Amino acid sequence: MSEQLIYLNGEFVEKHKAVVSVYDHGFLYGDGIFEGIRSYAGNVFCLHEHIKRLYESAKSILLTIPMSPDEMEQAVLETLRVNRYPDAYIRLIVSRGVGDLGLDPRSCKQANVIIIAEQLKLFPQENYDRGLRIVTVPTRRNVPDALNPKIKSLNYLNNILVKIEAAQAGVLEALMLNHEGYVCEGSGDNVFLVKNGKVTTPPTYLGALEGITRNAVMELCELHGIPCEEKPFTLHDVYVADEVFLTGTAAEVIAVVDVDSRTIGDGTPGATTLLLTEEFRKLTRERGVKVPGLAPELI
Residues found near ligand PMP in the complex (CB under 6 A): 36, 159, 185, 188-190, 209, 211-214, 247-249
In the complex, what is the shortest distance from the CB of residue 190 to ligand PMP, in angstroms, rounded to a whole number? 5
In the complex, what is the shortest distance from the CB of residue 188 to ligand PMP, in angstroms, rounded to a whole number? 4
Q: What residues contact residue 237 under an 8 Å CB cut-off, 6+ apart? A: 183, 193, 195, 200
CA 275/CA 271 separation, integer angstroms: 6
| Identity of the residue, 139 or 265, whose beta carbon is nearer to ligand PMP in the bound complex | 139
> Dihedral sign, CA of 156, 127, 178, 166?
negative
| Identity of the residue, 165 or 185, whose beta carbon is nearer to ligand PMP in the bound complex | 185
In the complex, what is the shortest distance from the CB of residue 201 to ligand PMP, in angstroms, rounded to a whole number? 11
In the complex, what is the shortest distance from the CB of residue 249 to ligand PMP, in angstroms, rounded to a whole number? 3
| Identity of the residue, 265 or 280, whose beta carbon is nearer to ligand PMP in the bound complex | 280
CA 244/CA 270 separation, integer angstroms: 8
Any bridge partners for residue 94, and if so which? 33, 113
CA 128/CA 217 separation, integer angstroms: 16
| Identity of the residue, 75 or 216, whose beta carbon is nearer to ligand PMP in the bound complex | 216
Asked about 152 being catalytic, the answer comes back as: yes
Single out the catalytic residue among 59, 150, 152, 290.
152
Catalytic machinery residues: 152
